[in-house]
A and B are shown apart, each in its own frame.
Chain A
């Protein structure tokens, strides 16, 4: 792990001020650390770790503004799949759903994805099945106007953990806009991430997040089109009896 200023700069370049804070202050270079243990020991004092061999790094955070009100964005986020930007997601299932005593809606969902690279998966993981599953827990608070989603992979957990957190809130200055903050935590078992690999992961997450935002805009457009069509149909059906009534006179 590169804890020099270079690493911190790379992380903060992704506009993750939280990420920069967690790495800043370490001026250790891996070259004179015996294995990664000392590095892990130092990290574990600052970051929560399940054991000395696992390191969880917040490698990416981002903020984005949608030019739509919070209700619209929340409805769209609930119906995000299917969309053309995420073709690998083939199944979304609700495992549990309930409203708590404070009126917040809790949902647990399973996202099933299929990657069209069976040969690659086999050579990397020794498996032919390419389904990966993600479990997501979300909370919608209609009074506070927050929609928080947390997801984690439940496949390949022996290799890696990718935890993602998304929060949708109205823009503090403009109620017609919504702010999305996102962060990703990566944990790799027993292996220390090189700066390069971390950078690659951050880039992939960033690209996927960008697709995700495109997907949201697509869903919002679709929902608005449906509303327009419904309205036009309703007007049409009302017009016929009204026209008939006028004609009768």
Chain B
């Protein structure tokens, strides 16, 4: 899968590989030991946030509907 920022795809794939392994082998099995992906995530994030700004994608702290939350937004 690609990143929205074309230049970030390689960094994203590196992070995804790390995350998917940790998620399946540690997190889902209840292993609360540290996240080995923080460094790759940081590098990937720097790239993606820049791409999002550049493309002016309207990310915001969106109020999602929650099970008990008022759906009042916008």
- Give A residues with C-beta under 8 Å from B: 47-50, 54, 56, 71, 74-75, 78-79, 81-82, 90-95, 97, 99, 103, 105, 110, 112, 133, 135, 137, 140, 142-143, 150-152, 154-155, 157, 161, 163, 165, 185, 187
Among B12, B45, B62, point to the contact of A152 (Cβ < 8 A). Answer: B62
A-B contact pairs, 30 of them (CB 8 A): A47-B71, A48-B70, A48-B72, A49-B72, A74-B28, A75-B23, A75-B28, A79-B20, A82-B1, A90-B2, A91-B1, A91-B4, A94-B12, A94-B19, A95-B49, A95-B59, A103-B32, A110-B57, A112-B4, A135-B59, A137-B64, A142-B28, A142-B29, A150-B64, A150-B65, A150-B66, A154-B60, A163-B71, A165-B65, A185-B71
Are the C-beta atoms of A78 and B23 separated by less than 8 Å?
yes
In the complex, A90 Cα to B2 Cα: how many Å?
6
In the complex, A163 Cα to B60 Cα: how many Å?
15
Contact residue range for chain B? 35 or more
Across the interface, name the chain B residue whose C-beta is closest to A82.
B1
In the complex, A47 Cα to B28 Cα: how many Å?
36
Enumerate chain A residues within 8 angstroms of B29, measured Cβ to Cβ: 142
Kindly name the residue among B15, B28, B30, B49 whose own CB sees the greatest number of chain A CB atoms within 10 A.
Answer: B28
CB distance from B37 to the nearest CB of A (A): 9
CB distance from B44 to the nearest CB of A (A): 8
Are the C-beta atoms of A105 and B27 separated by less than 8 Å?
yes
CB distance from B64 to the nearest CB of A (A): 4
